[in-house]
Chains A and B, each alone.
Chain A
Amino acid sequence: MTEDYFLEVDYYQGFKHNQMVGGDVFLSHKIKEENRIISVLSDGLGSGIKASVLATLTSTMASTFVSNYIGVKETAEIIMRTLPVCRQRKISYSTFSIVDIDSEGNTRIIEYDNPGFILIRNGMPVKIEKSPVKIDRKQYRDTILKYASFKAQKGDRIILCSDGVSQSGMGTPSYPLGWGEKEVEKYVLNIISENSGISARDLAKRIVNKAMQNDSYKCKDDTTCGVIFYRKPRRLLVVTGPPIDKERDSVLANMVESFEGNKIICGGTTANIVSRELKRSVTVNIRDLHPDIPPTSDMKGIDLVTEGIITLGKVAELLENSLVTDTKISTGADKIVNMMLNNDIIHFVVGTKINEVHQDPNMPVELEIRRNVVKKIMKLLEDKHLKETKLQFI
């Protein structure tokens, strides 16, 4: 990815009332070598497991084919031929929207029966001409896909919604015909005018929450919103572990001091080093009690100070298991995860000095080697959360 611009992609969803599984799938896939991101929103016929299978199949195939430059038409044909046919309705059906965007802003969008994408530029909606692509299907009516291609500009947001969003509230006095794509767009513009820097996930969450509210929090359909935000990167520094030799303590402290962005220090000794070098006190929040995770501390100029290995181990666990990007913020680990998800480029500076006590066989096995935990976190951030990570040992 170019140094100056970054693609932030995230989504939020609510399932149909009383359903444990969603029939909407939002899938994103990053091709690191080409600086491309492919995102697919798919809405399977019906709801629950059946719909989930359809949507998962569709989004996975679409993402794979488009990544490999297989033509749009061919992709759609293969998907439609592959989907299992519903026994009751005798059709196989799953809508999709595919966005293929690179770090230069070159964008292709292919849509099939989902509400049209919304493009917001400089606080205003932009209409992009779409050309129809006809797919012949023997037993069914012809299928028309819409294809759009344009160059995204810095600060652009692309918003994808499933029809659960645009049709929310249908039948209620406020929205007899549903919320409607026009109103959704107005709502998005309002949010952006209030908060021009709102992150992709916060925007997606607000749109879905509003849609759920339209149905008094009992969704009539799966409700999903995905947002792609092309903007300046937000940077986060995570410093953990003491440097291998003492002479580098000041180097570490300088890195922390001069970094532009959010800063986290993970580790008691590391916090002490920075505190000593920068002559700033550290205060432990001893009332911040939690049975598994040690308390956080405060230091001027640092956004967050936590304990090291236990907290990082928990961070890895949270990043691995969180299905929806919605973490409640209570322990140091929750706070780290939240900051990681709110930033784009995460720089890790890892001190390589080993604390021998941690290698004592009496210690719990969860105390992993720092480097391994960091490596695991980096992989999760890259693969699962589409972040860019950097690693430096000291």
Chain B
Amino acid sequence: MSALTHRRYSRNVLNRLIEEAPSESKSLTDDHRHSLSARFRGVASADHRRLDAWMVERAGQPMGAFRWSPTTAKRVVGNAALRRALHDPSLTRFDAVDIELTDQLLRVASGYARSGSLASYLAQASPSVLGLVSAEAANWTTQLGEAAEGIAAPWSVATSDAYYDVARARTTLRGRRDLIINRGLSRILLRVRAGAPGKSAGPGLRADLTIDALADATGLAATRVIGLWPEAGVVLSVDGTMEDLRSGARDLVRTAVAHQRQQLARAA
């Protein structure tokens, strides 16, 4: 039985959700990967397909072309700044944001940034736009830091999102994760989201759960995925059961189908 838990956010509630997570982790096997790959291969695509939880939540509806903006840059800069502040406690989170932005600009100056990357966007931005990126990132890192400070179990900021290339299906899956909470050998993922959770927030969390398990070399799934919506003061969680993993995989394939149909309709 797949279950979605919905709670009002407080430090105690978050800790309870972590403590009460299932103790046993489920694993995806090679058979699961082959089966998923076969299903994605069955959904033809002219271009390379990129799917994530947001597309699942929007049922594959087309989105506008991605563009960097202070809002889209805040998570990347904010998470990196929090990681930096944890490694060097003498830094405030705001100092860490400044250093992270400088670091991004240095990548461009030293020729390591490719066009279209965050670094190249920042290099072309005016000082006032950089200021706004800094303000957005500071909001993000403070929100994430405040949530993390209250967690009793050991935690770390995820070094990157989970990416999984589905074999021979021209499909890349991206699972977002902000904090990784360790409980013995198992792990719990926490994602911070903007706005308020919609009706499809549960499928979105399941998609993140499944992609994270696929991206793990051993296929080990997180025991729970927690979605935190600080603006709404709400937390939702999904357990890493086999049923939830299957449900996440099904939603991803359905999204690919819906996406393909919409592309065909647009081409017609």
A and B: partners?
no
By a beta-carbon cutoff of 8 Å, the part of chain B in contact with chain A is none
By a beta-carbon cutoff of 8 Å, the part of chain A in contact with chain B is none
